[in-house]
Amino acid sequence: MTDLYTSFAELQLRNPFIVSSSGLTDTAPKCLAWEEAGAGAVVLKSIFEEQIMQEHDRWYDPTSVEGDDYLRTYLRAHSLSEHIGLIEEAKRLCTIPVIASINCSTRTEWAEYAGFVEKAGADALELNIMEIQADKEYEFGAYERRHIDILDRVRKYVHLPIIIKLGMNLTNPVALVNQLYANGAAAVVLFNRPYRPDIHIETGKFHAGEMWTRPSDLCDSLRWLGICSARVPGLDYAASGGVHDGWGAVKALLAGASAVEVCTTLFWNGPQRIEAMKNQLLQWMKLHKYSSIEQLKGLMNMNATDGGHLYERIQFMKYFSEQKKVTTRPISH
């Protein structure tokens, strides 16, 4: 008997496919539809730190000395009360785990909002921490320390599992992941996809670059899943970016993930894609005689025979120069 149950961030999931925070999860009926399509969990569309602080500035009464009082005041503002309502309604409709999401970059007053997320019934909280570091006076390591500061601050207000979604702009993800684990994070997601600016050379204007992921994007997550899951094995991991089918999920699980966050392929293919991915994963597991996710998780991480050598390989040209046979393609004329 083969089953797809997996444990991620102290949550029991019926399968490893989590619908990412996006327009796919911005209403409770959409979340219910993903449950009915077979998803293991949903991450609600993020509330942004900027939204929280803008409403805080708008409604804050400096004569009120109790932080809880002014938070309750500005929670009456539309954007925040709407988000709390989304959590409450999603929990009312769904039986799969509902994960709230806050997109943040500082440890200021917004962190107290996490307590309201917990009270609304969220099963876990994903903190999406990513910011470009471009200050020429930047102090090395400050960005990484900020992740720990944010985690510590939020943990003062909640007891639910906290998931940290990391950006790729880190010198050494392993060192940061180890510190997040030591400071109480329940799981880490690798990686967040940044906004990509582009330039229109005819109009001379900026516009958004490619917003969709491609299956080839998964390689970046595979590298660090394979390394981090071997060196910090006590933490749960999820892959994000580039999982477009069940075979991509197999790769992520073999590298050390417990789950995968999926977005682009669901926009392209609709809810039926969940069932197709589950069937592909089941087919592969049956073919290779695995009866559970736990049996295959991390089998090809850095602890594997060649894992360290391959995961840490950087020199692209060196790799090709070492090949004894080069395959060429005829040039069409």
CATH of the domain at 270: 3.20.20.70
The pLDDT tens digits of the residues spanning 208-217 come to 777 788 999 9
Burial class (CB in 10 A: 0-12, 13-18, 19+), 161: buried
Residue 161 carries which side chain, given as an amino acid letter?
P
Count CB neighbours of 148 within 10 A: 17
Q: Which residues pair with 100 in a beta bridge?
A: 125
Count of domains for the chain:
1
The pLDDT tens digits of the residues spanning 76-126 come to 445 577 889 999 999 999 999 999 999 887 766 678 888 989 999 999 999
Count CB neighbours of 66 within 10 A: 8
Q: Would 196 be classed as within a structural domain?
A: yes
- Give the pair of three-digit tokens for residue 115: 């307590």
Q: Would 333 be classed as within a structural domain?
A: no
Name the CA dihedral angle for 92, 97, 98, 99, rounded to a multiple of 10 degrees.
Answer: 160
3-state SS of 144-163 is HHHHHHHHHHHHCCCCCCEE
**Is the model more confident about 322 or about 310?**
310
Q: Would 328 be classed as within a structural domain?
A: no
Q: What is the DSSP letter of 109?
A: G
Rounded CA-CA distance 129/173 in Å is 13
The pLDDT tens digits of the residues spanning 274-300 come to 999 999 999 999 999 999 999 999 999
Name the CA dihedral angle for 40, 273, 223, 254, rounded to a multiple of 10 degrees.
Answer: 60
Q: Would 226 be classed as within a structural domain?
A: yes
Q: Would 326 be classed as within a structural domain?
A: no
Q: Would 149 be classed as within a structural domain?
A: yes
Q: Would 29 be classed as within a structural domain?
A: yes
Q: How far is CA 200 from CA 40, 207, 209, in A?
A: 40, 7, 10
Supply the range of the domain harboring residue 144. Answer: 6-321
Per-position b or e across 26-65, b if 16+ CB within 10 A of its CB? ebbebbbbbbebbbbbbbbbbbbbebbbebbeebeeeeee
**pTM to 2 decimal places:** 0.86
Count CB neighbours of 190 within 10 A: 31
